[in-house]
Amino acid sequence: MKNILVVGSTGQIGSELTLKLRKLYHLDHVVAGYVPGAEPHGLVLESGPSEIVDVCNARQIAQVVDHYRIDTIYNLAALLSATAERAPLRAWDIQMNGLLNLLEISREKHCALFTPSSIGSFGPQTPRDDTPQDTIQRPTSMYGITKVATELLSDYYFHKYGVDTRSVRFPGLISYTKLPGGGTTDYAVEIYYSAVRGEEFVCPIAAGTYMDMMYMPDALKAAVEIMEADPARLVHRNAFNITAMSFEPGQICEAIRQEIPDFRMRYEVDPVRQAIADSWPNRMDDSCARQEWDWKPEYDLPTMTQDMIQHLRQTFE
């Protein structure tokens, strides 16, 4: 039986991943780590243990790891891309100094560690279409710089110290339970909220801007499966390209109109987010993940759209 610590358990990914891990591995064996000001509530609070775990506080993390005999850590503490551009030093502190704390604790206490990377780890010189697993990265955003460094440091700790680090490059993640905060791909979540509320959506990303996206159930599946994968089959570790779909704003708008025919959208492009989106791939090649640990998403744009709208209608109606 695993003993798991989720760092950042109240964020967009963490709040759903904590519940999924508790279902899979036992309620008491998954600790929800949070920082003051972002306390867990509802099911995350009620269904298992929670502890204050600031990724920048090594002593605090070590105490929780010892107390619960943690052997696996999911590190989901991060500032997303647009927020990181507004607070680059804070993003560096959380993403890099926080990661080093977790890597050192994982080395000392023999924990496996998952720290997600992102489409943000790529940059303007990266091949845009069918972006290969191993290619030029050189991102231009602080978010991307921290993600490339995360990949490299995680591989370094695996090769040098044998720490079981594994990860994926998440595309934009779409979910109905918790809004993301300050990401470039957030528009693809917010658009559904506008549609279900019967409002016009003002799109901050320009027509024709393709980005990889994924529905949250597939992202959670990936996070579990990569950590369960047979290590003998893994040629890569940090981090695997994974994708489920690629679309531009007009296509998600059309998919929503299949369900809500009078939905309206207009463009008001945000230059900060557009510059970031322009430096990211149109679509990644995720064949290495498919070969090395049988990665396969379940949702495409139409099935995700139906499910999102159905769940959001229950929330708002």
CB of 183 to ligand SER, least distance (A): 3
Is 143 a residue of the active site? yes
Which residues are near ligand SER by CB under 6 A?
Answer: 80-81, 118-120, 143, 170, 172, 183-185
CB of 62 to ligand SER, least distance (A): 28
Which CB, 143 or 263, lies closer to ligand SER?
143
Which CB, 105 or 223, lies closer to ligand SER?
223
Per the listing, tokens 């296509």 go with 251
Of 143, 176, 187, 192, which is the active-site residue? Answer: 143
CB of 146 to ligand SER, least distance (A): 11
CB of 120 to ligand SER, least distance (A): 5
Which CB, 68 or 210, lies closer to ligand SER?
210
CB of 100 to ligand SER, least distance (A): 21
Which CB, 202 or 260, lies closer to ligand SER?
202
CB 61 within 8 A of CB 77: no
Which CB, 48 or 180, lies closer to ligand SER?
180
Residue nearest to ligand SER (CB): 183
Catalytic residues: 143
